[in-house]
């Protein structure tokens, strides 16, 4: 697994828990980041929970406490950004 030591002890939101997002969440948590992960799809959330990925409903989280938002590939950041991108930006993340 990739060691992402530069994110140790950071509060990181991960959105999108398909293969890439789940791998990112696992690598970040294993590297010492404090991960809060979410997916709009209930089946993806169940699989992630079964894999030990900590779930937090990012639509209701305190974005001012997050250091960064990690988006799974395929989730829009700039062109018609996903609603969570606006929430994160609004909270200073």
How far apart, in whole angstroms, are the C-alpha atoms of residue 26 and residue 22? 6
* Structure tokens that stand for 21 in this block: 């997002």
pTM, full prediction: 0.89
Q: pLDDT digit string (tens) for 18-65?
A: 999 999 999 999 999 999 999 999 999 999 999 999 999 999 999 999
Where do runs of H (alpha helix) occur along the chain?
Answer: 19-30, 42-50, 83-90
Predicted local distance difference test score (pLDDT) of residue 34: 97
Neighbours of 18 (CB within 10 A): 16
* Structure tokens that stand for 14 in this block: 């991960």
Q: How confident is the model at residue 73 (pLDDT cuts 50, 70, 90)?
A: confident
How far apart, in whole angstroms, are the C-alpha atoms of residue 68 and residue 70? 6
Which of 36, 22, 32, 41 shows the shortest CA–CA distance to 69?
Answer: 36
Helix axes 42-50, 19-30, angle to 10 degrees: 40
């Amino acid at each position: 697994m990739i060691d992402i030591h530069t994110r140790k002890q950071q509060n990181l939101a991960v959105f999108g828990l398909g293969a890439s997002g789940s791998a990112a969440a696992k690598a970040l948590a294993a590297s010492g980041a404090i991960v809060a992960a979410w997916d709009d799809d209930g089946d993806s959330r169940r699989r992630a929970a079964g894999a030990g990925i900590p779930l937090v409903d990012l639509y209701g989280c305190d974005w001012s406490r997050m250091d960064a938002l990690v988006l799974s590939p395929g989730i829009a950041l700039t062109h018609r950004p996903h609603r969570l991108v606006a929430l994160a930006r609004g909270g200073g993340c």
